Amino acid sequence: MRDQGPRIFPEGFYWGAATASYQVEGGIENCDWAEAAREGKVPPCGIACDHYNRYEKDFDIAKELGHNCHRISVEWARIEPEEGKFDEREIGHYLAVLAALRARHIKPFITMWHFTLPQWFVEKGGFENPEAPKIFARYCGYVAQKLGNDCRHFSTMNEPLVFASNGWRRGTWPPFKAWPLMEHALQAVPGARPFVEKRTALRNVFLYFKIAKNLARAHNAAYDAIKAAAFGAEVGVVHQVILFHANWNPLNKLFAALLNWHWTHQFIKRIVRKTDSIGVNYYLHKKFGDTRAYEKTDMGWDVYPEGLCGALLMLKRYQKPLWVSEAGVADAHDAIRADYITRLVHAMHMAIEKGADVRGFMYWSLLDNYEWAQGFEKRFGLVEIDYTTLERNVRPSAYVYKEIIERNGLVE
Protein backbone atom coordinates (compact mmCIF):
# COMPACT_ATOMS: atom_id res chain seq x y z
CA MET A 1 0.00 0.00 0.00
CA ARG A 2 1.46 3.38 -0.97
CA ASP A 3 1.59 6.16 1.57
CA GLN A 4 0.04 9.45 0.49
CA GLY A 5 1.53 12.86 -0.21
CA PRO A 6 3.32 14.52 -3.10
CA ARG A 7 6.52 12.91 -4.38
CA ILE A 8 8.45 15.62 -6.15
CA PHE A 9 11.86 14.96 -7.72
CA PRO A 10 14.99 17.13 -7.63
CA GLU A 11 15.11 19.97 -10.12
CA GLY A 12 16.64 18.95 -13.44
CA PHE A 13 15.61 15.32 -13.03
CA TYR A 14 15.72 13.47 -16.35
CA TRP A 15 12.60 11.71 -17.61
CA GLY A 16 12.46 9.71 -20.80
CA ALA A 17 12.52 6.28 -22.37
CA ALA A 18 15.03 3.81 -23.73
CA THR A 19 15.45 1.74 -26.87
CA ALA A 20 18.23 -0.45 -28.26
CA SER A 21 19.50 -0.50 -31.83
CA TYR A 22 18.81 -4.11 -32.86
CA GLN A 23 15.41 -4.15 -31.20
CA VAL A 24 14.01 -1.14 -33.09
CA GLU A 25 16.17 -0.06 -36.02
CA GLY A 26 15.71 -2.91 -38.48
CA GLY A 27 17.95 -4.00 -41.34
CA ILE A 28 20.91 -5.27 -39.30
CA GLU A 29 22.06 -8.47 -40.95
CA ASN A 30 25.73 -8.84 -40.02
CA CYS A 31 25.45 -9.62 -36.31
CA ASP A 32 25.17 -12.82 -34.29
CA TRP A 33 21.41 -12.49 -33.68
CA ALA A 34 20.70 -12.13 -37.39
CA GLU A 35 22.86 -15.19 -38.01
CA ALA A 36 21.01 -17.12 -35.28
CA ALA A 37 17.70 -16.12 -36.88
CA ARG A 38 18.90 -17.40 -40.27
CA GLU A 39 19.73 -20.69 -38.55
CA GLY A 40 16.20 -20.79 -37.10
CA LYS A 41 17.34 -20.50 -33.49
CA VAL A 42 15.65 -17.19 -32.66
CA PRO A 43 12.83 -15.26 -34.32
CA PRO A 44 13.86 -13.03 -37.24
CA CYS A 45 14.06 -9.30 -36.56
CA GLY A 46 13.75 -8.00 -40.13
CA ILE A 47 12.97 -4.29 -40.27
CA ALA A 48 11.72 -4.27 -36.66
CA CYS A 49 10.11 -0.81 -36.12
CA ASP A 50 12.10 0.70 -38.99
CA HIS A 51 13.32 3.22 -36.45
CA TYR A 52 16.50 3.57 -38.53
CA ASN A 53 14.40 5.53 -41.03
CA ARG A 54 11.66 6.84 -38.76
CA TYR A 55 13.61 8.17 -35.79
CA GLU A 56 12.55 11.77 -36.43
CA LYS A 57 8.87 10.86 -36.13
CA ASP A 58 9.55 8.68 -33.09
CA PHE A 59 11.40 11.53 -31.38
CA ASP A 60 8.47 13.84 -32.20
CA ILE A 61 6.34 11.47 -30.15
CA ALA A 62 8.86 11.42 -27.29
CA LYS A 63 8.88 15.23 -27.33
CA GLU A 64 5.10 15.35 -27.39
CA LEU A 65 5.10 13.06 -24.36
CA GLY A 66 7.31 15.51 -22.45
CA HIS A 67 10.51 13.44 -22.45
CA ASN A 68 13.71 15.37 -21.80
CA CYS A 69 16.16 12.47 -22.19
CA HIS A 70 16.40 9.37 -24.34
CA ARG A 71 18.63 6.32 -24.22
CA ILE A 72 19.70 4.68 -27.47
CA SER A 73 22.36 2.18 -28.35
CA VAL A 74 24.60 2.28 -31.38
CA GLU A 75 25.10 -0.88 -33.38
CA TRP A 76 28.65 -2.23 -33.33
CA ALA A 77 28.07 -4.35 -36.46
CA ARG A 78 26.99 -1.27 -38.43
CA ILE A 79 29.88 0.89 -37.27
CA GLU A 80 32.63 -1.74 -37.53
CA PRO A 81 31.34 -4.18 -40.16
CA GLU A 82 34.82 -5.65 -40.63
CA GLU A 83 37.48 -5.86 -38.01
CA GLY A 84 39.27 -2.52 -37.75
CA LYS A 85 37.28 -1.00 -40.65
CA PHE A 86 34.85 1.67 -39.54
CA ASP A 87 31.92 2.90 -41.57
CA GLU A 88 31.76 6.70 -41.63
CA ARG A 89 28.28 6.65 -43.15
CA GLU A 90 26.90 4.86 -40.11
CA ILE A 91 28.60 7.40 -37.87
CA GLY A 92 26.85 10.00 -40.01
CA HIS A 93 23.56 8.27 -39.31
CA TYR A 94 24.05 8.35 -35.55
CA LEU A 95 25.18 11.99 -35.73
CA ALA A 96 21.88 12.74 -37.45
CA VAL A 97 20.02 10.82 -34.73
CA LEU A 98 21.79 12.90 -32.07
CA ALA A 99 21.00 16.11 -33.96
CA ALA A 100 17.33 15.10 -34.09
CA LEU A 101 17.31 14.65 -30.32
CA ARG A 102 19.11 17.94 -29.75
CA ALA A 103 16.61 19.77 -31.96
CA ARG A 104 13.88 18.53 -29.62
CA HIS A 105 15.82 19.39 -26.44
CA ILE A 106 16.08 15.73 -25.53
CA LYS A 107 19.35 14.75 -23.81
CA PRO A 108 20.93 11.67 -25.40
CA PHE A 109 22.37 8.72 -23.49
CA ILE A 110 24.32 6.26 -25.62
CA THR A 111 25.03 2.62 -24.87
CA MET A 112 27.95 1.40 -26.95
CA TRP A 113 26.88 -2.23 -27.02
CA HIS A 114 23.43 -3.72 -26.30
CA PHE A 115 23.72 -7.54 -26.67
CA THR A 116 24.27 -7.97 -30.45
CA LEU A 117 27.80 -8.59 -31.72
CA PRO A 118 29.37 -8.24 -35.16
CA GLN A 119 29.67 -11.63 -36.79
CA TRP A 120 33.45 -11.21 -37.36
CA PHE A 121 33.93 -10.65 -33.62
CA VAL A 122 31.95 -13.78 -32.77
CA GLU A 123 34.02 -15.76 -35.26
CA LYS A 124 37.10 -14.69 -33.31
CA GLY A 125 35.58 -16.16 -30.14
CA GLY A 126 33.63 -13.11 -28.99
CA PHE A 127 34.03 -12.40 -25.31
CA GLU A 128 35.65 -15.80 -24.79
CA ASN A 129 38.68 -14.37 -26.57
CA PRO A 130 41.21 -12.88 -24.11
CA GLU A 131 41.81 -10.11 -26.68
CA ALA A 132 38.12 -9.10 -26.60
CA PRO A 133 38.53 -6.23 -24.12
CA LYS A 134 41.12 -4.62 -26.38
CA ILE A 135 38.97 -5.05 -29.50
CA PHE A 136 35.88 -3.70 -27.72
CA ALA A 137 37.77 -0.74 -26.29
CA ARG A 138 39.07 0.20 -29.74
CA TYR A 139 35.50 0.30 -31.06
CA CYS A 140 34.28 2.34 -28.06
CA GLY A 141 37.14 4.80 -28.40
CA TYR A 142 36.34 5.30 -32.06
CA VAL A 143 32.66 5.95 -31.40
CA ALA A 144 33.43 8.32 -28.52
CA GLN A 145 35.82 10.28 -30.70
CA LYS A 146 33.15 10.66 -33.40
CA LEU A 147 30.09 11.24 -31.21
CA GLY A 148 31.67 12.75 -28.10
CA ASN A 149 30.92 16.35 -29.08
CA ASP A 150 27.24 15.56 -29.46
CA CYS A 151 26.68 13.27 -26.49
CA ARG A 152 28.05 13.54 -22.94
CA HIS A 153 26.60 10.37 -21.42
CA PHE A 154 27.99 7.02 -22.49
CA SER A 155 27.52 3.52 -21.13
CA THR A 156 29.95 0.89 -22.30
CA MET A 157 27.60 -2.09 -22.21
CA ASN A 158 24.10 -3.22 -21.37
CA GLU A 159 23.49 -5.87 -18.70
CA PRO A 160 26.72 -7.89 -18.95
CA LEU A 161 25.46 -10.52 -16.50
CA VAL A 162 22.23 -11.07 -18.45
CA PHE A 163 24.31 -11.48 -21.61
CA ALA A 164 26.60 -14.01 -19.92
CA SER A 165 23.77 -15.82 -18.21
CA ASN A 166 21.54 -16.26 -21.25
CA GLY A 167 24.43 -17.13 -23.56
CA TRP A 168 26.57 -19.39 -21.37
CA ARG A 169 24.34 -20.61 -18.53
CA ARG A 170 20.75 -20.91 -19.74
CA GLY A 171 21.80 -21.27 -23.37
CA THR A 172 18.74 -19.43 -24.71
CA TRP A 173 20.71 -16.70 -26.55
CA PRO A 174 23.76 -16.83 -28.84
CA PRO A 175 26.05 -18.71 -28.52
CA PHE A 176 23.48 -21.08 -26.94
CA LYS A 177 25.79 -22.69 -24.40
CA ALA A 178 24.09 -24.14 -21.37
CA TRP A 179 24.98 -25.73 -18.08
CA PRO A 180 24.16 -29.40 -17.60
CA LEU A 181 20.55 -30.01 -16.49
CA MET A 182 19.59 -26.46 -17.47
CA GLU A 183 16.93 -27.72 -19.88
CA HIS A 184 15.11 -29.26 -16.97
CA ALA A 185 15.52 -26.23 -14.72
CA LEU A 186 14.24 -23.86 -17.40
CA GLN A 187 10.93 -25.65 -17.79
CA ALA A 188 9.71 -23.84 -14.69
CA VAL A 189 10.92 -20.40 -15.83
CA PRO A 190 8.27 -18.23 -17.50
CA GLY A 191 9.35 -16.75 -20.79
CA ALA A 192 12.44 -18.91 -21.24
CA ARG A 193 12.46 -20.75 -24.55
CA PRO A 194 13.43 -24.38 -24.72
CA PHE A 195 16.81 -25.07 -26.25
CA VAL A 196 17.07 -24.87 -29.97
CA GLU A 197 20.05 -27.16 -29.91
CA LYS A 198 21.73 -29.07 -27.17
CA ARG A 199 25.06 -27.61 -26.22
CA THR A 200 25.07 -28.39 -22.55
CA ALA A 201 28.50 -29.06 -21.12
CA LEU A 202 30.21 -28.80 -17.78
CA ARG A 203 32.80 -26.60 -19.43
CA ASN A 204 30.12 -23.92 -19.85
CA VAL A 205 30.07 -23.40 -16.09
CA PHE A 206 33.70 -22.38 -16.27
CA LEU A 207 33.07 -20.32 -19.41
CA TYR A 208 30.20 -18.40 -17.80
CA PHE A 209 32.45 -17.17 -14.99
CA LYS A 210 35.22 -16.45 -17.48
CA ILE A 211 32.85 -14.35 -19.62
CA ALA A 212 31.63 -12.40 -16.59
CA LYS A 213 35.23 -11.55 -15.75
CA ASN A 214 36.17 -10.70 -19.33
CA LEU A 215 33.19 -8.37 -19.60
CA ALA A 216 34.37 -6.45 -16.54
CA ARG A 217 37.83 -6.19 -18.13
CA ALA A 218 36.20 -5.04 -21.37
CA HIS A 219 34.24 -2.36 -19.52
CA ASN A 220 37.36 -1.10 -17.77
CA ALA A 221 39.34 -0.92 -21.01
CA ALA A 222 36.45 0.80 -22.79
CA TYR A 223 36.11 3.30 -19.96
CA ASP A 224 39.70 4.44 -20.49
CA ALA A 225 39.26 4.54 -24.26
CA ILE A 226 36.10 6.65 -24.08
CA LYS A 227 37.58 9.00 -21.49
CA ALA A 228 40.64 9.53 -23.68
CA ALA A 229 38.53 10.21 -26.79
CA ALA A 230 35.71 12.31 -25.33
CA PHE A 231 37.15 14.60 -22.71
CA GLY A 232 34.80 15.24 -19.81
CA ALA A 233 32.13 12.76 -20.92
CA GLU A 234 30.36 10.73 -18.26
CA VAL A 235 31.04 7.04 -18.72
CA GLY A 236 29.10 4.33 -16.93
CA VAL A 237 27.77 0.83 -17.24
CA VAL A 238 24.20 -0.48 -17.36
CA HIS A 239 23.51 -3.32 -14.95
CA GLN A 240 20.27 -5.19 -14.46
CA VAL A 241 19.71 -5.60 -10.75
CA ILE A 242 17.74 -8.71 -9.90
CA LEU A 243 16.55 -8.06 -6.39
CA PHE A 244 17.08 -11.19 -4.32
CA HIS A 245 15.39 -10.87 -0.95
CA ALA A 246 13.94 -13.17 1.68
CA ASN A 247 11.43 -13.66 4.44
CA TRP A 248 12.52 -13.94 8.09
CA ASN A 249 14.26 -17.32 7.61
CA PRO A 250 18.07 -16.95 8.08
CA LEU A 251 18.78 -19.63 5.48
CA ASN A 252 16.67 -17.75 2.93
CA LYS A 253 18.47 -14.56 3.85
CA LEU A 254 21.78 -16.29 3.24
CA PHE A 255 20.65 -17.47 -0.22
CA ALA A 256 19.53 -13.98 -1.11
CA ALA A 257 22.80 -12.43 0.10
CA LEU A 258 24.91 -14.92 -1.87
CA LEU A 259 22.97 -14.32 -5.08
CA ASN A 260 23.08 -10.54 -4.68
CA TRP A 261 26.79 -10.82 -4.12
CA HIS A 262 27.37 -12.81 -7.29
CA TRP A 263 24.86 -11.08 -9.57
CA THR A 264 25.42 -7.49 -8.54
CA HIS A 265 28.28 -6.79 -6.14
CA GLN A 266 30.93 -9.05 -7.62
CA PHE A 267 30.55 -7.40 -11.02
CA ILE A 268 30.20 -3.84 -9.75
CA LYS A 269 33.26 -4.23 -7.51
CA ARG A 270 35.31 -5.23 -10.55
CA ILE A 271 34.44 -2.05 -12.40
CA VAL A 272 33.67 0.50 -9.71
CA ARG A 273 36.95 2.37 -9.99
CA LYS A 274 36.24 2.91 -13.65
CA THR A 275 32.71 4.13 -13.74
CA ASP A 276 31.32 7.63 -13.26
CA SER A 277 27.75 6.46 -12.78
CA ILE A 278 25.70 3.27 -12.78
CA GLY A 279 22.66 2.66 -14.93
CA VAL A 280 20.16 0.42 -13.17
CA ASN A 281 17.72 -1.76 -15.09
CA TYR A 282 15.02 -3.32 -12.97
CA TYR A 283 12.45 -5.96 -13.93
CA LEU A 284 12.84 -8.95 -11.66
CA HIS A 285 12.92 -9.93 -8.04
CA LYS A 286 13.06 -13.23 -6.26
CA LYS A 287 11.94 -13.40 -2.66
CA PHE A 288 12.95 -16.62 -0.94
CA GLY A 289 10.26 -17.98 1.36
CA ASP A 290 7.61 -15.73 -0.18
CA THR A 291 4.05 -17.07 -0.27
CA ARG A 292 2.40 -14.06 -1.90
CA ALA A 293 0.62 -14.70 -5.23
CA TYR A 294 1.75 -11.96 -7.57
CA GLU A 295 -0.11 -10.63 -10.56
CA LYS A 296 1.97 -11.46 -13.68
CA THR A 297 3.15 -9.34 -16.62
CA ASP A 298 2.89 -10.66 -20.19
CA MET A 299 6.44 -11.98 -19.70
CA GLY A 300 5.16 -14.09 -16.81
CA TRP A 301 7.16 -11.95 -14.38
CA ASP A 302 5.83 -10.80 -10.99
CA VAL A 303 4.21 -7.39 -10.97
CA TYR A 304 6.43 -5.90 -8.28
CA PRO A 305 7.55 -2.39 -9.26
CA GLU A 306 8.19 -1.63 -5.57
CA GLY A 307 11.39 -3.67 -5.90
CA LEU A 308 12.99 -0.77 -7.77
CA CYS A 309 13.58 0.92 -4.40
CA GLY A 310 15.60 -2.03 -3.07
CA ALA A 311 17.44 -2.36 -6.39
CA LEU A 312 18.60 1.26 -6.20
CA LEU A 313 19.48 1.05 -2.53
CA MET A 314 21.62 -2.01 -3.24
CA LEU A 315 23.89 0.24 -5.29
CA LYS A 316 23.90 3.20 -2.89
CA ARG A 317 27.06 1.96 -1.17
CA TYR A 318 29.12 2.63 -4.31
CA GLN A 319 28.41 6.38 -3.98
CA LYS A 320 27.92 6.95 -7.68
CA PRO A 321 25.16 8.83 -9.44
CA LEU A 322 22.47 6.34 -10.50
CA TRP A 323 20.18 6.32 -13.51
CA VAL A 324 17.18 4.12 -13.93
CA SER A 325 18.26 3.20 -17.42
CA GLU A 326 15.36 0.74 -17.91
CA ALA A 327 12.25 -0.33 -16.08
CA GLY A 328 8.96 -1.22 -17.67
CA VAL A 329 6.31 -3.81 -18.28
CA ALA A 330 5.14 -6.07 -21.10
CA ASP A 331 1.42 -5.36 -21.19
CA ALA A 332 -0.20 -5.76 -24.61
CA HIS A 333 -3.56 -4.36 -23.49
CA ASP A 334 -2.09 -1.43 -21.56
CA ALA A 335 -4.13 -2.61 -18.60
CA ILE A 336 -1.52 -2.23 -15.88
CA ARG A 337 1.19 -0.04 -17.40
CA ALA A 338 0.00 3.31 -16.01
CA ASP A 339 -0.23 1.92 -12.49
CA TYR A 340 3.07 0.10 -12.90
CA ILE A 341 4.86 3.31 -13.93
CA THR A 342 3.29 5.25 -11.06
CA ARG A 343 4.46 2.62 -8.61
CA LEU A 344 7.97 2.58 -10.14
CA VAL A 345 8.17 6.35 -9.72
CA HIS A 346 7.00 6.05 -6.15
CA ALA A 347 9.62 3.39 -5.42
CA MET A 348 12.32 5.52 -7.01
CA HIS A 349 11.31 8.49 -4.87
CA MET A 350 11.54 6.35 -1.77
CA ALA A 351 15.07 5.31 -2.75
CA ILE A 352 16.04 8.98 -3.12
CA GLU A 353 14.59 9.73 0.32
CA LYS A 354 16.75 6.93 1.67
CA GLY A 355 19.87 8.46 0.19
CA ALA A 356 20.27 6.98 -3.32
CA ASP A 357 21.60 9.60 -5.75
CA VAL A 358 19.15 8.95 -8.61
CA ARG A 359 19.37 11.40 -11.51
CA GLY A 360 16.86 10.14 -14.05
CA PHE A 361 14.35 7.56 -15.21
CA MET A 362 14.06 5.95 -18.63
CA TYR A 363 11.02 3.81 -19.23
CA TRP A 364 11.55 0.63 -21.25
CA SER A 365 10.57 1.18 -23.91
CA LEU A 366 9.48 4.09 -26.07
CA LEU A 367 8.27 1.67 -28.74
CA ASP A 368 7.11 -1.92 -28.85
CA ASN A 369 10.09 -3.83 -30.17
CA TYR A 370 11.92 -7.10 -30.80
CA GLU A 371 11.99 -8.84 -27.44
CA TRP A 372 14.93 -11.12 -28.25
CA ALA A 373 14.07 -14.84 -28.10
CA GLN A 374 10.40 -13.89 -27.61
CA GLY A 375 10.23 -12.03 -30.92
CA PHE A 376 7.67 -9.26 -31.44
CA GLU A 377 4.86 -10.64 -29.36
CA LYS A 378 5.73 -8.95 -26.05
CA ARG A 379 4.68 -5.32 -25.87
CA PHE A 380 6.72 -3.02 -23.65
CA GLY A 381 6.06 0.22 -25.57
CA LEU A 382 4.57 3.51 -24.49
CA VAL A 383 3.86 3.52 -28.21
CA GLU A 384 2.19 0.57 -29.89
CA ILE A 385 3.62 -0.60 -33.21
CA ASP A 386 1.44 -2.18 -35.84
CA TYR A 387 4.02 -4.46 -37.45
CA THR A 388 2.14 -4.73 -40.75
CA THR A 389 1.73 -1.00 -41.40
CA LEU A 390 4.46 0.22 -39.00
CA GLU A 391 1.93 2.72 -37.75
CA ARG A 392 2.59 4.20 -34.30
CA ASN A 393 -0.18 4.55 -31.72
CA VAL A 394 0.45 6.23 -28.41
CA ARG A 395 -0.97 4.16 -25.56
CA PRO A 396 -3.06 5.85 -22.83
CA SER A 397 -0.47 5.00 -20.15
CA ALA A 398 2.05 7.20 -22.00
CA TYR A 399 -0.08 10.21 -21.07
CA VAL A 400 -0.12 9.21 -17.43
CA TYR A 401 3.69 9.16 -17.59
CA LYS A 402 3.56 12.54 -19.34
CA GLU A 403 1.62 14.00 -16.42
CA ILE A 404 4.21 12.66 -13.99
CA ILE A 405 6.92 14.33 -16.05
CA GLU A 406 5.06 17.64 -16.20
CA ARG A 407 4.67 17.65 -12.44
CA ASN A 408 8.20 16.34 -11.93
CA GLY A 409 6.76 13.63 -9.74
CA LEU A 410 3.57 12.38 -8.20
CA VAL A 411 0.93 14.67 -6.82
CA GLU A 412 -1.54 12.54 -4.91
235 versus 329: smaller Cβ distance to ligand BGC: 329
Q: How far is the CB of 247 from ligand BGC (least distance, A)?
A: 27
3-state secondary structure 377-412: CCCCCCEEECCCCCCEEECHHHHHHHHHHHHCEECC
Helix or strand run (H / E) with residue 181 = none
9 versus 372: smaller Cβ distance to ligand BGC: 372
**Residues 161/240, Cβ–Cβ less than 8 Å:** yes
Q: How far is the CB of 30 from ligand BGC (least distance, A)?
A: 19
Q: How far is the CB of 327 from ligand BGC (least distance, A)?
A: 9
Give exposure, 129-153, as e/b (b: 16+ Cβ within 10 Å): eeebbebbbbbbbbbbebbbebbeb
3-state secondary structure of 210: helix
80 versus 298: smaller Cβ distance to ligand BGC: 298
Beta bridge partners of 245: 287
201 versus 284: smaller Cβ distance to ligand BGC: 284
Q: How far is the CB of 215 from ligand BGC (least distance, A)?
A: 14
Radius of gyration for the alpha carbons in the chain, expressed in angstroms and rounded: 20
7 versus 325: smaller Cβ distance to ligand BGC: 325
9 versus 380: smaller Cβ distance to ligand BGC: 380
- Which residue, 27, 31, 30, 18, is CA-closest to 46? 27
Q: How far is the CB of 119 from ligand BGC (least distance, A)?
A: 20
Q: How far is the CB of 395 from ligand BGC (least distance, A)?
A: 17
**Residues 373/32, Cβ–Cβ less than 8 Å:** no
Helix or strand run (H / E) with residue 186 = helix 182-186
Please classify residue 317 by burial: count the beta carbons closer than 10 Å to its beta carbon, then call 0-12 exposed, 13-18 middle and 19+ buried.
exposed
Q: How far is the CB of 23 from ligand BGC (least distance, A)?
A: 6
In angstroms, the CA 177 to CA 169 distance is: 6
What Cα–Cα distance (Å) separates residue 19 from each residue in 24, 25, 217, 368?
7, 9, 25, 9
24 versus 358: smaller Cβ distance to ligand BGC: 24
> Contact positions toward ligand BGC, by CB under 6 A?
20, 23, 158-159, 162, 240, 281, 283, 326, 364, 371
